[in-house]
Each structure stands twice: as structure tokens, then as C-alpha cells.
Amino acid sequence: MILIAGAGIGGLTLGRALARARLPFRIYERASDLRPAGAGIALSANAFTALAHVGLEEPARACGRELGVAAICHPAGHALISVRVRDIVAGGTVAMARSDLQRVLLESIEGSVQTGRAVARYENVPGGVRVHLADGGAIDADLLVAADGLHSAVRRQMRGAETLRYSGQTSWRALVDGIDLAEPDRLTETWGAGRRFGIVPIGARRVYWFAVRDSPAGGRDGDDACVALRALFAGWHAPIEDMIAATPADQIVRTDIFDRPPIDRWVEGRVALLGDAAHPMTPDAGMGGCQAIEDAVVLADALAREATVDGALIRYQARRVARANGFVVRSHRIGQIAHLRTAPLRWLRNTALRAVPVRLAARALARDLGFRL
């Protein structure tokens, strides 16, 4: 039996992939009920290729809107670079409400998640692992997969105390209805000094937006986050101010952005890290969830293919570490470049972005957005 700690994107996808491979599993989730954290999410073509292996591409795509174009813009509104994603990889990116993605994943493994059960620690025992729960119970399993996120308790035991790396940036996210966009299939990020704004259409007149600014960790909003955000983005291109104004303040989620420097060992005995527990990354490349999905599909395939669990874990780690860690590094870098504060550096960056041959951007994207089992 395979025990999965955590029913986030990674844990649920792994459950689905194991169910398809007819491998017995259970998911233990700390939260007493499953609520999606955050407003929206964009999944790229690589995530859908992985989801196709477990029969979930169609239902996941149906949750959201396909975005054919991705652009980085100047606060005045003109594009610094614009890429037709659909011309590079079939399918493009699809953005959706997180609650819809969670529903699709949960429905695909109905009844397999036990909520209110936190994994506290583990012991590697001969031929398996003993998993201790916070409520005092203990379960023997062939494998423990830690899909317990950024603050993973399993990782803490495996690697000892590690500090999170704060990006220097905090984010706000929300869904808002009733917004008409000039280009309803275009994802836009607008970069200014120490701040940026993202517009991600997810359905008819429905938009997922995010705002990011340089700020010390642990900051709090006053009573109305909208007031401060409208001031922060005053004078930026339409419809940014209108969109913030149309969002109820209590719908806005604020999150400080952390990651961890990459590590090369995700496996210890019969315990494996997956998703944010293994490779938490900043959201700048929009890849954290996509990589958790890739991890899950590769791990289930390795378990089905290899004669032993140990052999499968070797295969899993060998297949996944370099790719996921590459995104950790690139994502962190993108976040820093997006927020350059010095005007001459911003000018240089914008000039360079305008000069990037579309062919080069397409080649880099094709590498990132490709996934093969």
C-alpha cells in the first residue's frame, strides 16, 4: 500500500495515476475539509500531456479557458514581447479556478482521501515504512509519498531544519466576474518598478488576476486591500484599476512568496518527496502545479513499470530532479527580473525583450512545455 501525505494538486494526481495503474493507495490530508488555496491557476501544455496519461486531460481542459497568447506588457499597455503559445505547442495554456481543478481531481478518486489526518513522522522499517499520524495512529506502508507542500513535515524530518527562501515579494490573487477584455484569450503580465500585475481570463467575462510587489514578509492589509492596490497600480493600463475596483476585498488572497534552493535527493529509504515538498518554486514561471502533476504521473509509471519499489524510486528521482529544479532556478530569476527598480536596467531589459527573436522564445518554450513519459 502506498500512503500519500497531502491532497493538493500533487497528491490527488498521484492518487489518480495509482488508481489507473491498479496500485493500492490512501491519501491522508491534514485539513479537516478540502478548500482550494488561492483563486486561479494556469496549467501549461506539459501538465495536460501528463494528465492525458491518467485520463484527465479532457475534464481538466473543460474547467477553464485556453489562452493562445502570452504577453509581457509595459504599464502603458504596449507589449514588450508576445508569443502565440498555440503555434508552439498543441493545446496551449488553460487557466481555471483552482476549485474546479480540485473538483476534477477529487471526483476521479472518489472516497480515497481521509481528511483531518496529518502525517507527523515516519520510520523506515525493513521492507517498508511506518507512518505516524498526529492523532496518534500508525500505519505500515510500502511507500510514503510526501505531497505535503511547501512546509512539508516529512521533508523536515528527512532533511532537518531548513529555512525557506523569501523572494522579497508578496502577492494578491482574486477571481472577478463581469470583465470585458479586448483579447479574451490573452494572458498578460505587466511589469513595473518593484511591482507587476497579471490578467488571466478563465471564462466568459471571468478573470483571474494577480498583483505582486516588493515587500517584507509578514505584511498585512488594512480593512480594504482594494484601496491600497488601486493606489499601487494607479495610471496603469486598462482594465487593471477597474478590475481591482470590481473585486470584493474579502475575495482577495494575500500570499508571501517563498521557495527553497533546489536539492538533488528526494528519496530516503521508502519515503519520497513530490511537488512543492520536493521543489517549491516561486510562481513566476507558472510551473509549480504543472511540475507536481508531472512528478505524480512519472512516479506512478515507475511504480507500475519497475519490479521493486526501490527500483521505481531510483527511476523517479533520475527522471524528475533536473527538470523540476531547472524551473526552481528560472522561476526565481524571472521574479527578480520582472521587478527591476532601476530605470536604466528596466530600459535595458525592455529593449532586450523587444529584441528577442520569436524563434528563440519559441525554442525555450517548446522545451519547457514538452513532457514525455
Ligand X SMILES: Cc1cc2nc3c(=O)[nH]c(=O)nc-3n(C[C@H](O)[C@H](O)[C@H](O)COP(=O)(O)OP(=O)(O)OC[C@H]3O[C@@H](n4cnc5c(N)ncnc54)[C@H](O)[C@@H]3O)c2cc1C
Using the rule CB under 6 A, give the single segment among 121-129, 189-197, 231-239, 286-294 that binds ligand X.
Answer: 286-294
Using the rule CB under 6 A, give the single segment among 41-49, 62-70, 222-230, 309-317 that binds ligand X.
Answer: 41-49
Residue with CB nearest ligand X? 8
The x, y and z cell numbers of residue 74, run together, are: 509595459
- Residue of 15, 29, 71, 211 interacting with ligand X (CB under 6 A): 29
Residues 6+ apart with CB under 8 A from 148: 5, 6, 11, 30, 119, 154, 155, 277
- Residue of 15, 275, 326, 335 interacting with ligand X (CB under 6 A): 275
Kindly state the smallest distance separating residue 257's Cβ from ligand X, in Å.
Answer: 6
The two beta strands, 143-146 and 271-273, are: parallel
The candidate with the shortest Cα–Cα distance to 30, out of 108, 147, 123, is 147
Quick one: 9 or 321, whose CB is closer to ligand X?
9
- Residue of 42, 96, 97, 309 interacting with ligand X (CB under 6 A): 42
CA–centroid distance for 167 within its chain: 16
Quick one: 158 or 359, whose CB is closer to ligand X?
158
Rounded Cα–Cα distance for residues 88 and 65 (Å): 18
Backbone angles phi, psi at 228, to 5 degrees: -65, -40
Backbone angles phi, psi at 38, to 5 degrees: 100, 165
Residues 249-268 that bind ligand X (CB under 6 A): 255
Using the rule CB under 6 A, give the single segment among 36-44, 104-112, 177-185, 344-352 that binds ligand X.
Answer: 36-44
Q: Under the criterion CB under 6 A, does residue 83 sit at the interface with ligand X?
A: no
Q: Under the criterion CB under 6 A, does residue 113 sit at the interface with ligand X?
A: no
Using the rule CB under 6 A, give the single segment among 38-46, 79-87, 162-170, 343-351 that binds ligand X.
Answer: 38-46
64, 96 contact by CB (below 8 A): yes
Using the rule CB under 6 A, give the single segment among 23-31, 76-84, 244-252, 344-352 that binds ligand X.
Answer: 23-31
Quick one: 50 or 119, whose CB is closer to ligand X?
119
Q: How many of the chain's residues bind ligand X (CB under 6 A)?
A: 35
Distances (CA, A) of 367 to 54, 326, 364: 22, 11, 5
- What is the side-by-side order of every strand in the sheet holding 253-259? 79-84, 69-73, 186-192, 195-203, 206-214, 165-177, 253-259
The candidate with the shortest Cα–Cα distance to 143, out of 5, 287, 283, is 5
Binding footprint of ligand X on the chain (CB under 6 A): 5-11, 28-31, 38, 41-43, 118-119, 147-150, 153, 171, 173, 255, 275-277, 283, 286-290, 292
